[in-house]
Structure 1
Amino acid sequence: MIDFSIPAEVAALRDEIRAFVVEEIVPYETDPRLTQHGPNDDLRAELVERARNRGLLTFQADRRFGGRGPSHVDQAVLFEAAGWSTLGPVALNCAAPDEGNMFLLSKIANEAQAESFLVPVIDGHQRSVFAMTEPGGAGSDPGQLATQAVFDGTEYTVNGRKWLITGAPGAKTWIIMADVQSNSHGPAGPTLFLCDGGEPGIVIERVMDTMDRNYVEGHGVVRFDGLRLPPTAVLGEVGQAFRYAQLRLAPARLTHCMRWLGAAARAQSIAIEYARTRTAFGKPLGEHEGVGFMLADNEIALQQCRLAIWWACWQLDQGAKGRHESSMVKAMVAEELFRVADRCVQVLGGIGISDETPIGMIFRDIRAFRLYDGPTEVHKYAISRQVLRVPEPRS
């Protein structure tokens, strides 16, 4: 039986999260520490302490690490509430890339690695990065990985260049993807490494200027210049980076969708209130058919996105890997929420392209969301390959 009811305890936590975001986090949206490169570390620390004081910090973490261990479907409800402000996930410690990195580390880090690199992130005391994307190398196609790691039997030496590395300045927990070269000491291939962001050999060249500004300290260009790491820095097994990345990607695609659904719903609420109160040509804007239809289209799209996210999350909760399902949802939700935000800008007219309301910021950030964790076209390519597979013969 299909059941769309939300358990009472999840609904209560959702309402608590929404109230926290509205009461304590929304006022920070005009704070000067929310810069062109996103909230700075000082602002993040202040927001995190507010969530900690309310008992809501990192609510999505596994119970063994002090979190509430919500199911994927539960997360869909809770992350949407957190996303009501683009600063909400930052405060609650459920923003990317930390949220996805915490999920990955909780699955494959050993006990010592978890103690050093995962627990401090869960506790909100340090940030993390996932260093994969490269200029001219790995990106939507990780098979183009150019960063290399050479193993001499004692340690690995990593050299390469990455960019669009979210939150690189000031991050302490680094997950680095590098291609271990063939050697006589052990296995080779694409591998994940864990290290401290202060290690010699990690050079942050600059922070890129991008249209979005919701990620702490923005997106960095990073060079690994003779970074030396011990064998204990290997996360999981050598040569298994692509498999581990897929383990992280399906849930991370969906949590992106959840958070941005919350932001788009916020934009819609502002547009509705504006259409009720702003008059033009003798009546409220919302009574003009063109405006009313845009708001109706938004309401339809928001509910379609919500149900699609819940469906994919239900698949994960049933034990599915969710790669195909999450690709479908990410492709659809990213495009639909962009249209929702665009229509909200249109309803507000000139004020919609300003910073007088958060709609302009939401619009820019959701435009960037269409590229996070793979652009729509890459997901559609993967979906088409799946549906075009030759079916197995029936017995």
Structure 2
Amino acid sequence: MAGKMPERWSTYARAAGTDLEALFSSHFNGSPRKVRFILGRGFDPRMLTGLALLRRICPSLSIEVVLLTYEEGDQSPSRTYDEAVQKNLEELGRIVPAAQLSSRNINMFSAERRRMTSRSAEGQFKTAGEFASITDVIVDVSALPRSVFLPIVAKLLHIIDGQTSPRMNLFVLADENPRIDSLILEEGLDEEADYIHTFRGDAERESAAAKPRVWFPLLGENQATQLQRIYDLVRPSEVCPLLPAPSQNPRRGDNLIVEYRGLLFDSLRIDPRNFLYASETNPFEVYRQLVHAIEHYAKSLAPLGGSNAIVSALSSKLLSIGALLAAYELKRAGSRVAIAHIEAHGHRVAVEMEELTRLAKDGVIHGLWLAGECYED
């Protein structure tokens, strides 16, 4: 990586709550637009909050909905919540008519029972021709796993980057609620972690084996096993954890350090100066912190041939987008950053679904404008 890389998202557009409503009202009600809205099928009560908000604010807006479906298997713990999934689908039918709804299935396993989720997700959208009449794409990640939405958002950015002006607008929505996130637990973790498709970096190349590996895990609650298994895959020379701070709970960062103290300090002996910090609600801060840190290590270790940077998003879905933006931009600049991840066979809710639905009312919808008109020269 030669010289300092320009930051694509050094200025950015994001909004939440009533500010997001005002942004959508101004943008979508101001001129004729056609929207493709991508969301995931699931039991999470936040699955439809973004779509419902858009329809309420823009009742006459032309919206095509693409529902992403995926089967975790008959034995998946998630099957316990099939009734909640059905309720969400019935509500979806009330928001958009059947003629404006299509579904695409993501294969989580190959015929040989090998994980292929991120590869299948990346292949759902192939060329700009699929979006010939679309002015805006919105991806709501609230009910999507990272192995699905990370490659999809990256693919959409790639498609838009190949367009000529005027380019499509790309928005990402996330109904952010740390309390709910902490109550939806992954069950049946894979035995081994792997890398997200198209973000495998140089970590597996023999020619790069001698380069020091620097690992940047974004920390979130209840991820001790995930953290350990990703560490077993990466085997880093240096670890730079990123903590969500500032946060709604002022002690959240401290609590995470206590939760992972054994691994971070007793086993890995991380220097406290290695910690990175970014606002709990601003993925663009995550993006900036990671880009700067990865550039720093690449420059510092240049006499040794450079470094291998590996990112892992174990925090909220909102902050996971920041990790993706850093990896995407660095990849386009010629730095092969990897995203290490581990998948689960399903999820378990630590409270009754009625309580989860009640807590969902306290969430805040965040909107990120990642590409399009506001970035045009």
Instruction: Give TM-score scaled by structure 1 length.
Output: 0.27
Q: Which has the larger radius of gyration?
A: 1
By percentage of residues, which structure has more strand? 2
Question: Under a length normalisation based on structure 2, what TM-score does the superposition of the two structures give?
Answer: 0.28
Flag the structure with higher helix content. 1
Using CA pairs under 8 Å that are at least 6 residues apart, name the structure with larger relative contact order, 1 or 2: 2
